[in-house]
Copies of this chain bind each other. A is one copy, B any other.
């Protein structure tokens, strides 16, 4: 049996290494690829992706999985088998023609989306989205589901997540967040963002970003920081993790929180078990858990009161002309101003999840044939009004704002909210385990928190499914109360509610 497992592991490693190569190609495309190189790159990526598919569905791998299933395996082997089987089963169920149709339709949709967004012209995008939704319904039917098609798509990003469990959480979350927003809107003492919006060159911001990353434990001998239009993280191995940011010369918070966010993703990737590198069990377990790590560092740490003591010192040291007068409390209030905006990526912690819930509801209705693509812009405006108390001025700021759907990503958005919920629950557990946490954050000692996360989450890779991991780390199933308690305490104090 040991030999069968060795063979199985070699095949999964090959698939994973080709996947890491695809990740490198993505990273390069967003950072350094010359513009005219895009078409050839697309064919190079498609070629490699098709080999990954070929290897994943290969009968030889299937036979090994079959044999191993009859065997008693240790935890790691069992996780490797579970994960590879899950990925393979899904790949087998979706016909290759459908994958190719999706890739082609997505490529056209992305171009159409760019123009449509630039010209506030929903009608240009509509037929492409209609086609993508139809294809994604076919994917859902091919993959199969118990309750409704949306679950089959959600499962790609958050294995094991089901609407019947998520919807009650999200519904309650929405109503409680809307209440909090209403209280905040009525508050008289509103924080100002001005202290963060001072002219600071990208070069100075980069120096600050590198210092921040170093301090939270980002290992520059195993990672990089580069520039891109939209910040992202790619991990080719735990020893090659690359993040990007962008700089706004008039608003430090853009790069500050992007770097903490991507830095959180990177710490997860760097903390995955390197000895088992390139095996399924040594990968991040879900997008929701991944997002919990980025949001924990960005929000629970980076927007916390103790962190501002550290940040103020850093700013005094690295940008004295602009920030010598900046006080921790002032920075804290500026970093936590609640300003409803139609645009998700500009949203504060309180309103962010209302944007996500809006998308989830629309996606779900689309997949279940309850609405047509043509209904989206009006529905978007209506739901914005309900959730955020405001309507987008245009579709550019409304239904066209995010690129996700143009990539065929339906079921992806909820992982953002799951990330926030997991983050709050993990952070509460960390606080329990590290009684000195606030003092540590204030003095820039991020090691204890990072090490706790590494032991509790990172090193476990995919050994446990996300839901079980949450129970093991926090002693409870995923819920909304830790997150709501976190927000309530924080914003009650800031807004003197």
Binds B, one of A12-20, A176-184, A192-200: A12-20
Contact A48–B18 (Cβ < 8 Å): yes
Return A340 CB to nearest CB of chain B, in Å: 40
- What are the residues of chain B within 8 A of A223 when measuring CB–CB? 34
**Nearest chain-B residue to A19 (Cβ)?**
B44
Contacts of A188 in B (CB 8 A): none
> Does A222 lie at the interface of the complex (its beta carbon under 8 Å from any beta carbon of B)?
yes
In the complex, how many angstroms separate the beta carbon of A156 from the nearest chain B beta carbon?
A: 24
Chain A, interface size category, equals 35 or more
A43 at the interface (CB under 8 A from B): yes
Are A239 and B20 within 8 A (Cβ)? no
Decide if A251 is an interface residue (CB 8 Å cutoff): no
The chain B residue sitting closest to A14, CB to CB, is B47
1/0 per residue, CB under 8 A from B, across A32-57: the answer is 11111101110110011001000000
Query: Which A residues from 20 to 77 make CB contacts under 8 A with B?
Result: 20-21, 24-25, 28, 32-37, 39-41, 43-44, 47-48, 51
**Shortest distance between the CB of A19 and any CB in chain B (Å):** 9
* Contact partners of A43 in chain B: CB under 8 A: 13, 17, 278
- With the chains together, A54 CA to B119 CA distance in Å? 48
Known pairs A21-B25, A25-B24; A236 contacts B36 (CB<8 A) = no
Q: Is A21's CB under 8 angstroms from B21's CB?
A: yes
User: What is the copy number of this chain in the assembly?
Assistant: 2
A219: interface (CB < 8 Å): yes
User: Quick one: given A43-B17, A43-B278, are A222 and B24 in contact (CB under 8 Å)?
Assistant: no
Distance (whole angstroms) from the CB of A12 to the closest CB of chain B: 12
A18 touches B47 (CB 8 A): yes
Task: Judge whether B32 and A224 touch: CB under 8 Å.
Answer: yes
* A384 contacts across to B, CB distance below 8 A: none
- A452 CB within 8 Å of chain B: no
Q: How far is the CA of A51 from the CA of B55 in the complex (A)?
A: 11
Contact A222 B37 (CB under 8 A): yes
- Give A99 to B330 CA distance when docked, in angstroms: 64
Q: Smallest Cβ distance from A225 to chain B, in angstroms?
A: 11
What's the least CB distance linking A185 to chain B, in Å? 46
Nearest neighbor of A23 in chain B, beta-carbon distance = B44
Residues in B with CB closer than 8 Å to A39 are: 239
Bound CA–CA A223/B33 (angstroms): 8
- 7 shortest A-B CB distances, which residue pairs? A37-B240, A40-B237, A36-B239, A36-B222, A17-B47, A17-B44, A36-B221
Besides A24-B28, A32-B224, A48-B48, 12 new A-B residue pairs in contact (Cβ under 8 A), listed by A number: A13-B43, A17-B44, A21-B25, A21-B47, A21-B48, A32-B226, A34-B220, A34-B239, A34-B240, A36-B239, A40-B277, A41-B240
